[in-house]
Amino acid sequence: MTVKIQINKVAVVTGAAGFIGFHICKYLLKKGWRVIGIDNLNSYYDVSLKKNREKILKKNKNYRSINKNIEKPKLLLSIFKEESPDVVIHLGAQAGVRYSLKNPRAYFESNILSTFELLEASKSYPPKHMLLASTSSVYGVNKKMPFRETDKADHQVSFYAATKKTTENLAHSYSHVFKLPITMFRFFTVYGPWGRPDMAYFKFTDKIFKGLEIDVYNEGIMERDFTYIDDLSKAIYLLINVIPDMNNDIKFKYDSLSHVAPFRIVNIGNSKPVKLLDFIKAIENNIQLKAKKNMLPMQIGDVYSTWACSKLLTELTGFKPKTNVNEGVKEFVKWFKQYYQI
């Protein structure tokens, strides 16, 4: 059961030209929302890919694009004052576990400072609901599977994960002090068309087509709860109307609702871990080429396995991600061949 809100359908989406942000914006626009998309179009990966995503969004008259750094003091405050958004979906962040080993400052500025600016703006111009992105990486070296939102998550093994856990803590404190309704969602290895070139599945596909070796860490003895982008987009959209409310009499069996704040954490994952070598095989089958594998030891900051318990998501929204890896990889390879004219 959901708590319905009366909205004017105005949303601010940060990281709007990113992989997930692009798909969320498209989903909202399709549903008749006005979307203010903010993205600094940084050069962490191919900027032309981001610009091409943005070009598609700009074709819709209900989309406003702002290309600025959200960690800039008071920028979000001025946007919130001007637009009075009903909903905020915060996806703007420096992504990638491995890059955080090389450039941790980028994560501090893009993840922690940007979230602080967002929370400060929301304090002055409170949206009806704020949905902030976290990650399955916050579970770190937890051995209890599947991961539940109520599990302790105190031992992150990458700086990226540590910054995202920090944003969860910041958001909870603002939610408590200023009564801001906040839902944090933890993603589990999202993949699909228009994806990020730094992600393993994207690099695998590119290198297999080119006949190059792919790097397979821990000799492939890893598994991930792969989540297809369309399932993620639908889940986030459905969560918009599920506002954390401490005074609500409705009780959910698996709820992570804070007892001191209108704040909730929700996993979004398929709940079906897939072995890395099986995922590579799905890519090979769709490309119809065999991968040349360079087997490597485990990389620092990585984890062996992820597995989402998505029962809370289903309780709250009635939805459960269900796209299997073969279907999802097929759609990604189809897009990849078309986009890169293979």
Q: List the catalytic residues.
A: 160
Contact call for residues 170 and 112 (beta carbons, < 8 A):
yes
For the purposes of burial, counting CB atoms within 10 Å of the CB of 141, is it exposed (0-12), middle (13-18) or buried (19 or more)? exposed
130, β-bridge pairs? 88, 182
State how far the Cα of 97 lies from the Cα of 116, in Å rounded to an integer.
Answer: 21
Give the amino acid at 40: N
In whole angstroms, how far apart are CA 286 and each of 81, 86, 202, 212? 48, 42, 13, 17
Q: In the 8-state DSSP scheme, what is residue 110? A: I
State how far the Cα of 164 lies from the Cα of 142, in Å rounded to an integer.
Answer: 16
Q: Which residue bears the tokens 């916050």?
A: 138
Which residues, 6+ apart, have CB-to-CB distance to 339 below 8 Å? Answer: none
CA angle 75, 20, 81 (to 5 degrees): 25
Q: What phi, psi does 13 have (nearest 5°)?
A: -120, 120
- Name which of 86, 72, 66, 83 is nearest 15 in CA terms: 66
Torsion sign over Cα 67, 69, 72, 74: positive
